[in-house]
Structure 1
Amino acid sequence: MRLLDLIPAQFRIAAVGLLLVMLAGGSAALAWTVQGWRYGQQLERQARLQADTLNEMAQASASLQRAEQDKRLALERRLQSKDETHHKELTDEQTKQARLRDRLATTDLRLSVVLAATDTTSGCSVPTTTATGRVVHGTTRAQLDPAHAQRIIGITDAGDQGLIALRACQEYAREVSATERADSTAP
Structure 2
Amino acid sequence: MSAALWKLVSILLLMLVTAGGTWKVQDWRYGEQLAEQAGLHKDDLADISKAAAAQVRADQDKRLVLEQRLSANDQTHHEALTNAQKDQARLRDRLATSDLRLSVLLDAADPASACSVPAGTTAVGVVHGGARVRLDPAHAQRIIAITDDGDQGLIALAACQAYAKAISAPAAP
TM, length-normalised to structure 2: 0.88
Please identify runs of 4+ aligned residues in structure 1 that moved more than 3 A. 122-125, 135-139
Gaps of 5+ in 2: 120-125
Structure with max Cα Rg: 1
Alignment of 1:133-172 (within 5 A): 136-172=127-163
SS at match of 1:87: helix
1:115 corresponds to which residue?
Answer: 106
Gaps of 5+ in 1: 1-7, 126-134
Listed one character per residue, the Cα deviations across residues 65-94 of structure 1 (whole Å, up to 9, x for unaligned) are 101110110110011011000000001100
Determine whether 1:12 maps to 2:3. yes
Closer, same or farther in 2 for the Cα pair 1:122/1:136, shift >3 Å?
A: farther
Listed one character per residue, the Cα deviations across residues 11-32 of structure 1 (whole Å, up to 9, x for unaligned) are 2222211111110001100100
1:47 corresponds to which residue?
Answer: 38
Q: Which one of 59, 67, 73 corresponds to residue 58 of structure 2?
A: 67
2:74 corresponds to which residue?
Answer: 83
CA contact (8 A) 2:118 2:133 kept: no
2:123 corresponds to which residue?
Answer: none
Q: Distance in 1 between matches of 2:39 and 2:98?
A: 87
Instruction: Kindly state the Cα deviation for residue 170 of structure 1 after the two structures are TM-superposed.
Output: 1.7
Instruction: Kindly state the Cα deviation for residue 168 of structure 1 after the two structures are TM-superposed.
Output: 1.5
Aligned CA-pair RMSD: 2.0
TM, length-normalised to structure 1: 0.82
CA contact (8 A) 1:113 1:144 kept: yes
% of aligned pairs identical?
54
Aligned length, in residue pairs: 165
